[in-house]
Amino acid sequence: MIVVDDLHKHFGGFHAVDGASLRIEKGSITGLIGPNGAGKTTLFNVIAGVLSPTSGRVTMEGEDITGLPPHALFHKGLLRTFQIAHEFSSMTCRENLMMVPPGQSGETLWNTWFGRKRIADEERALRAKADEVLEFLTISHLADHKAGQVSGGQKKLLELGRTMMVDARIVFLDEVGAGVNRTLLNTIGDAIQRLNRERGYTFVVIEHDMDFIERLCDPVICMAEGKVLAEGTLAEIKANEEVIEAYLGTGLKNKDKLEAGA
């Protein structure tokens, strides 16, 4: 579905992504792991159009999407989740979801004057969809809570929920598990699996929690120093000498991360 070919992203003289090549298969939940500073987030940002690459190519189903801005990728169904922006934290969870779909009729002055009925119909449909998404994510009880007041894990669910308000096809998740308790992490994992199986979403997931990766991801791709080191099942990755060395090279803390959940 996505092919990344010899991608480079340099910050001054520093090569954050340094010739990364990989393929994301349609229908997969692909894990992306690697020690801190490996270039995972930068790679995501380049694929998702947040950063433009220094060189290299990204294609989606054969079409060159290199350097396309996020909104153009959004229309192709390629989404990268973002933290709920500060401005939206005083809106309710339901309102946060209702904000997502682009091109609502309510936006234009013409419609304000002449299309009241249509706006009301659309808003009702949007609200119904938001409620469906909240239910899918098991957070219906938070519909009227302000987004800024729910827990970190619940916010992550809401971020995932935003991808369900549009016709997402491939979703990039960066450290969904960070700071999230085990129960909510399982709920997030369940939602990812169901979206994958029932709605055909392809996922690419960056995560340090190896239990989470093991449960959800096949294949797993390991990056270090801006390059792809290895790809395979998590068991294969963990047995790979280069991978072990890459984690060791960055200190014991990272090595423990690799072994956790083994």
Ligand X SMILES: Nc1ncnc2c1ncn2[C@@H]1O[C@H](COP(=O)(O)OP(=O)(O)O)[C@@H](O)[C@H]1O
Please say which residue, 41 or 81, places its beta carbon nearer to Mg ion: 41
Nearest-5° Cα angle at 139, 125 to 155: 100
Nearest-approach distance from CB 10 to ligand X, in angstroms = 9
Pairing of strands 14-24, 63-64: unpaired
227 binds ligand X (CB under 6 A): no
Dihedral, CA atoms, 28, 194, 198, 103, nearest 10 degrees?
A: -90
Residues in CB range of 57: below 8 A, 6 or more apart: 3, 4, 5, 6, 7, 64, 66
Range in contact with ligand X (rule: CB under 6 A) among 32-40, 151-159, 195-203, 212-220: 32-40
Q: Could you say which of ligand X, Mg ion, none residue 16 binds, taking C-beta under 5 to 8 angstroms by partner kind?
A: ligand X
Site for Mg ion in 2-41 (CB under 5 A): 41
The answer to whether 154 contacts Mg ion (rule: CB under 5 A) is: no
85: its two tokens: 């922006």
The single residue listed with the structure tokens 């229309």 is 75
Q: Which stretch binds ligand X (CB under 6 A): 36-44, 61-69, 107-115, 232-240?
A: 36-44
Does 37 bind ligand X (CB under 6 A)? Our answer is yes
Prior bond of 219 cis (ω within 30°):
yes
Instruction: Evaluate whether 163 touches 129 at the Cβ level (below 8 Å).
Output: no
C-alpha distances (whole Å) from 258 to each of 66, 170, 238 are: 32, 26, 7
Interacting partner of 21 out of ligand X, Mg ion, none (Cβ under 5 to 8 A depending on kind): none
101 binds ligand X (CB under 6 A): no
Task: Find the shortest distance in angstroms from Cβ 71 to ligand X.
Answer: 21
81 contact, one of Mg ion, ligand X, none, CB 5-8 Å limit per kind = none
| 3-class state of residue 179 by DSSP | coil
Q: Note whether 14 binds ligand X by CB under 6 A.
A: yes
Contacting positions for Mg ion (CB under 5 A): 41
Residues that bind ligand X (CB under 6 A): 11, 14, 16, 34, 36-42
